[in-house]
Amino acid sequence: MEGDIDRILITHEQLDRRIREMADDIAACYPEEDTGLVLVPILAGSIIFLADLIRRLPMKMKLGLIAVSSYAGAVTESRDASITRDLSVDITDQHVLVIDDILDTGKTLRLVGQRLRERKPRTLRTAVLLRKPSKAPADVTADFVGFEIEDEFVVGYGLDYDGHYRNYPHIAVLKPERY
């Protein structure tokens, strides 16, 4: 796997430090006595970010999983997003925090936001590890952002290319011949 990597953009140590800061910001937004928080990670890219983030959050919460497909197979261009696994937790009148790996074209978060708003949550916020400011449209925003990156296809720390590299511990760019 290491031989496929061209450059590391964000090391695991940098990720770890930033996720601690994000957890503090998120915790400040949801005081501990305020119950009814549901985290909604978008599968599968957010799993490692989620695992590191939630262990730094002190408040009571539930998890509700949702899966969206937009990059099926060996592609780096997002197609139309579709929900492949819907939420099974009741979020009506709950505080909902959507967790995603990356805000790229915004199609995924737009779709998930629309679907969740239909269920009348009390509040709906979003936390993303990465954001590509040059691509994200103005109508899709994230309340908590880990890092802003250039418009390059990245892998590692949960993000995949054709199903691989999710277990690579850093955020990295593959060698051109690997795409």
Residues serving a catalytic function are: 104
Q: Does 171 bind ligand XMP (CB under 6 A)?
A: no
* Span 71-100, contacts to ligand XMP by CB under 6 A: 71, 78, 81, 100
Q: Which is nearer to ligand XMP, 60 or 137 (CB)?
A: 137
Per-residue contact string for residues 15-44; x = within reach of ligand XMP by CB under 6 A:
---------------------------x--
Provide the minimum distance between the beta carbon of 109 and ligand XMP in the complex, in angstroms, as a whole number. Answer: 6
Residue 165 sits at the vertex; the CA angle it makes with 160 and 169, to the nearest 5 degrees, is: 110
- Using CA atoms, how far apart are residues 66 and 73, in angstroms rounded to an integer? 19
Q: Which is nearer to ligand XMP, 34 or 148 (CB)?
A: 148
Q: Does 126 bind ligand XMP (CB under 6 A)?
A: no
In degrees and rounded to multiples of 5, residue 63 shows phi and psi of -115, 135
> Looking at 108, 145, 146, 172, which residue binds ligand XMP (CB under 6 A)?
108
Given the structure tokens 């119950």, which residue do they identify? 35
Provide the minimum distance between the beta carbon of 38 and ligand XMP in the complex, in angstroms, as a whole number. Answer: 19
- Using CA atoms, how far apart are residues 97 and 141, in angstroms rounded to an integer? 13
> Looking at 23, 104, 142, 157, which residue binds ligand XMP (CB under 6 A)?
104
- Using CA atoms, how far apart are residues 171 and 39, in angstroms rounded to an integer? 23
In degrees and rounded to multiples of 5, residue 100 shows phi and psi of -135, 160
DSSP string, 59-75: S--EE--EEEES--SS-
Instruction: Name the one range near ligand XMP by CB under 6 A: 47-55, 58-66, 90-98, 148-156.
Output: 148-156
85 membership: H or E segment, kind and range? strand 82-85
Binding site for ligand XMP (CB under 6 A): 42, 45, 70-71, 78, 81, 100-108, 153-155, 159-161
